[in-house]
Amino acid sequence: MSASARVLLCTAVACIATTYSHAANEVAEEYARLALDSALNGDLSDAAILASHALRCDPGDADVQMAVGVLHWTRTAQLSASLQAAPTSSPASKAALQQYTHHAIRAVTAFKRSIAANPWDSAAADALEGVVRGVAKQGAVASSTAVHLSSILRMADYAGGPTRHARHRMPYEPHADDVRAATNADAYLPPLPVLQGPPLLDAKVLWELGYKQKAVRLLCTNDGVRVTVPEHERNISTGAMPPDLSLDLATILQVCGFVVVQGAMPVDFVRFLREKNNVSTKNNVALHATGTYCVQEYFSSFIAREAATQANIETVEHLYGYVPPLSPLNPFARPSYTEFTRREDYTVRSAGRYEYRLPLRNEFARDELLSNPWVRPGLARAMDANELVVDMLSAITSLPGSPTQHLHKDVGPLYSTDGATPWLQQNVFRRLRSVLGPPPGDPARLAAHMEHFQDAFFPDQFVNLGQTAPSPAPPPPAAVLAEQRARLANVTTVPGAKHAEYADAARFPVWHPWELTPDQYIAAMTHSEHGFWDGGHTPPPFSVAMVTPLVNMTLETGVSASPLGLLPLLLRPWPLTHTCTP
Partner 1 sequence: MATHTYVHTLTFVSQPTTFIPGSHAFAPSELSTEDTVFDAEAEGSGDAQWQTVNRSPLQRRSFLYGETQEGDVILFDVRVTHRGGSNRQKGPHDWRSILYCTFTHDWFHDGRNFQPRHTSQFDAFPPYVRTAVTRIDQHDYLRQVETELANAFVDVVGMSSTYEFDTTQYADVLPLRDTAVQRAGQLLPGTLPRPALLAALRELHAKHTWHSSAQPQEGEQG
Residues numbered 71 to 130 that lie near partner 1 (CB under 8 A) are: 120-123, 125-127, 130
Stretch of residues binding partner 1 (CB under 8 A), selected from 148-156, 410-418, 457-465, 489-497: 410-418
CA distance 421 to 483: 7
Stretch of residues binding partner 1 (CB under 8 A), selected from 87-95, 256-264, 314-322, 574-582: 256-264
CA distance 301 to 312: 10
Binding of partner 1 at residue 311 (CB under 8 A)?
Answer: no
CA distance 450 to 427: 13
> Which positions from 334 through 373 interact with partner 1, judged by CB under 8 A?
342-345, 347, 349-350, 352-353, 355, 357-358, 369-370, 372
Q: How far is the CB of 116 from partner 1 (least distance, A)?
A: 16
The values of phi and psi at residue 487, to 5°, are -70, -40
The values of phi and psi at residue 206, to 5°, are -60, -40
Binding of partner 1 at residue 394 (CB under 8 A)?
Answer: yes
Task: Indicate the residue among 154 and 537 with the shorter CB distance to partner 1.
Answer: 537
Binding of partner 1 at residue 221 (CB under 8 A)?
Answer: yes
The values of phi and psi at residue 434, to 5°, are -145, 155
Q: How far is the CB of 367 from partner 1 (least distance, A)?
A: 13
In 3-state terms, what secondary structure has residue 349? strand
Of the candidates 342, 350, 357, 347, the one whose C-alpha atom is nearest the C-alpha of residue 392 is: 357
Task: Indicate the residue among 122 and 493 with the shorter CB distance to partner 1.
Answer: 122
Q: How far is the CB of 7 from partner 1 (least distance, A)?
A: 17
Rule CB under 8 A: choose which of 220, 303, 304, 550 binds partner 1: 220
Binding of partner 1 at residue 146 (CB under 8 A)?
Answer: no
Binding of partner 1 at residue 288 (CB under 8 A)?
Answer: no
Question: What DSSP designation does 187 have?
Answer: G
Rule CB under 8 A: choose which of 266, 441, 475, 568 binds partner 1: 266
CA distances, 495 to each of 120, 203, 481, 508 (Å): 32, 42, 16, 10
> Which positions from 491 through 550 interact with partner 1, judged by CB under 8 A?
530-534, 536, 538
Q: How many CB atoms lie within 10 A of CB 157?
A: 12
Of the candidates 73, 60, 196, the one whose C-alpha atom is nearest the C-alpha of residue 132 is: 73
Task: Indicate the residue among 94 and 269 with the shorter CB distance to partner 1.
Answer: 269
Stretch of residues binding partner 1 (CB under 8 A), selected from 310-318, 390-398, 472-480, 557-565: 390-398
Binding of partner 1 at residue 389 (CB under 8 A)?
Answer: yes
Task: Indicate the residue among 311 and 388 with the shorter CB distance to partner 1.
Answer: 388
CA distance 149 to 367: 63
**Secondary structure E strands in 437-510:** none
CA distances, 223 to each of 40, 226, 232, 253 (Å): 29, 6, 22, 14
Binding of partner 1 at residue 23 (CB under 8 A)?
Answer: yes
Q: How far is the CB of 122 from partner 1 (least distance, A)?
A: 5
Binding of partner 1 at residue 159 (CB under 8 A)?
Answer: no
Q: How far is the CB of 156 from partner 1 (least distance, A)?
A: 17
Rule CB under 8 A: choose which of 92, 159, 240, 393 binds partner 1: 393
Binding of partner 1 at residue 433 (CB under 8 A)?
Answer: no
Bridge-based pairing state of the strands 546-549 and 353-357: unpaired
Binding of partner 1 at residue 158 (CB under 8 A)?
Answer: no
CA distances, 558 to each of 101, 443, 549 (Å): 40, 8, 23
Rule CB under 8 A: choose which of 90, 98, 278, 315 binds partner 1: 278
Helix ranges restricted to H, 18-89: 21-40, 44-57, 62-85
CA distance 486 to 477: 19
Q: How far is the CB of 219 from partner 1 (least distance, A)?
A: 8
Residue type, 290: T
Rule CB under 8 A: choose which of 42, 160, 257, 359 binds partner 1: 257
